[in-house]
Amino acid sequence: MRARDLPIRFQGTPGPLNALTDVPGVEVGMVTIVGDDPTDYSLSARTGVTAILPLGRERIGTSVPAAIYSLNGNGEMTGSHWIDETGSLSSPVMITNTHAVGTVHRGVIDWFADNRTALAAEWLLPVVAETWDGYLNSINVPHVMPPHAGQAIDAASEGPVAEGSVGGGTGMNCYGFKGGNGTASRVVRLGSGEFTVAVFLQANFGARRELMINGVPMGDLDVPCPIDDDDWLLEDRRSGAGAGSVIAVVATDAPMMPQQCAAMARRVPLGLARTGTTGGHFSGDLFLAFSTANSGALDSGFPTDPGSEVKLRTMQLVPWNHMDAFLAATVHCVEEAVLNALVCNATMVGRSGHVSHALPNDLVRERLASSGGA
């Protein structure tokens, strides 16, 4: 079940899959790691790795225009300085848990060394982002290993994108309910052409009291919220309600300059806010946007041809005065992706018996109907 099946109302026209992979060429792969040690349930694994390939596996190493935006910097996205410097992205975007960033970074380098030797001979700055899954996952145990990064890259494909508790989103929580992965897309028409804007996010943010769906408050739904219980917080010395983080990746096949990608990334918080969050000091909210058009125009590997033979490069772009439709599509995709992450999910029991309850879809449906919100 997805959010539209409740039904929840959304603006805009979705693509065929209503997913990140509606942008042609984009591939998504995941590795999910779930396991228990029957002798010590404090060591349980509820985690994983997600890989997003902007141009597919065969074109890894070719650049696309890109930009990042940070709403709140209590998080990590490696490789971001090079994206800022060049306005480009040429590697997979990996998403995992907070304490596995270094492991996945190493795993991406290993994958390049085995599969893209020429690129590995120069320099590699993998893009690895994270959110914290330590309520359900034993985050200090090295459940994620370097080969998992390569497995996620190798698993990447076009087609439907798994949502909920899979890949990097396996152990995440959102608004005090079971969170994880969500995705959505919108069709944008410009002139005689048709383009796609799509979002994938790893949702691990928000306090229960904040949740809104179609403008209807949902924070008082009659479902336990043990993640807000002071007992485990005091025991583990963790942060309070609303902490967590969200990573969002925005993709489009419309021709964009890096500055336009940045404008789209800056609209992600507006979509998040439509679901109720006000942002929190303990939440790492980092967003990346890229355009698959103009691929290769911003490549910047070591030069192999004499300066006298260099050819100038050109790029197309959507006129700035026609950007609003793409910005609105970003906001609408983000809102729906968050709610897909909540609706397409199930209650999970994790380390030390910690429980994250799924959003009660039946109660949400009833409340929306009674309020006129559905």
Q: 193, 153, 145, 185: which is closest to 45 by C-alpha?
A: 145
Find tokens 């800056």 and name the residue: 266
291 is catalytic: no
The pair of structure tokens assigned to 59 is: 């074109």
**C-alpha span between 102 and 109 (Å, rounded):** 11
Through-space distance between the first and last CA atoms of the chain, rounded to whole angstroms: 16
Which residues make Cβ contacts (< 8 Å) with residue 244, sequence separation at least 6? 131, 132, 172, 173, 174, 179, 204, 205, 206, 282, 283
The pair of structure tokens assigned to 317 is: 């772009």
What are residue 51's DSSP bridge partners? 29, 94
pLDDT of residue 55: 98
Of 91, 185, 283, 295, catalytic:
283
With 0-12 / 13-18 / 19 or more C-beta atoms within 10 angstroms meaning exposed / middle / buried, residue 69 is buried
**Rounded CA Rg of the chain:** 20
Could you list the residue range(s) of the whole structural domain that residue 102 is in?
A: 3-297+316-369
CB of 30 closer than 8 Å to CB of 48: yes
Which residues make Cβ contacts (< 8 Å) with residue 97, sequence separation at least 6? 47, 130, 131, 132, 133, 134, 137, 139, 144, 168, 171
Q: 237, 228, 235: which is closest to 209 by C-alpha?
A: 228
pLDDT, one tens digit for every residue, the chain (374 residues) = 999 999 999 999 999 999 999 999 999 999 999 999 999 999 999 999 999 999 999 999 999 999 999 999 999 999 999 999 999 999 999 999 999 999 999 999 999 999 999 999 999 999 999 999 999 999 999 999 999 999 999 999 999 999 999 999 999 999 999 999 999 999 999 999 999 999 999 999 999 999 999 999 999 999 999 988 767 656 665 444 446 799 999 999 999 999 999 999 999 999 999 999 999 999 999 999 999 999 999 999 888 877 778 889 999 999 999 999 999 999 999 999 999 999 999 999 999 999 999 999 999 999 999 988 66
The pair of structure tokens assigned to 22 is: 């509606």
The reply to whether 305 falls in a domain is no
Q: 180, 177, 155: which is closest to 165 by C-alpha?
A: 180
The reply to whether 303 falls in a domain is no
Total of domains in the chain: 1
**C-alpha span between 169 and 49 (Å, rounded):** 8
The reply to whether 304 falls in a domain is no
The reply to whether 327 falls in a domain is yes
Q: Cα angle vertex 169, ends 277, 353, to 5°?
A: 95
CB of 74 closer than 8 Å to CB of 101: no
The reply to whether 307 falls in a domain is no
192 is catalytic: no
pLDDT of residue 239: 46
φ, ψ at 178 (rounded to 5°) = -65, 125
Q: Cα angle vertex 47, ends 41, 48, to 5°?
A: 145
pLDDT of residue 233: 58
The reply to whether 302 falls in a domain is no
Give the burial string for 340-371 (b: 16+ CB within 10 Å, else e): bbbbbbeebebbbebebbbbbbeebeebbeee
CATH number for the domain harbouring residue 330: 3.60.70.12
pLDDT of residue 305: 78
The pair of structure tokens assigned to 176 is: 């005090």
Chain centroid to CA 245: 11
The reply to whether 171 falls in a domain is yes
Q: Cα angle vertex 263, ends 258, 266, to 5°?
A: 125
3-state secondary structure 195-217: EEEEEEEEECCECHHHCEECCEE
285 is catalytic: yes
Of 185, 245, 291, 295, catalytic:
245
What Cα–Cα distance (Å) separates residue 328 from each residue in 80, 84, 325?
A: 25, 24, 5
pLDDT of residue 228: 81
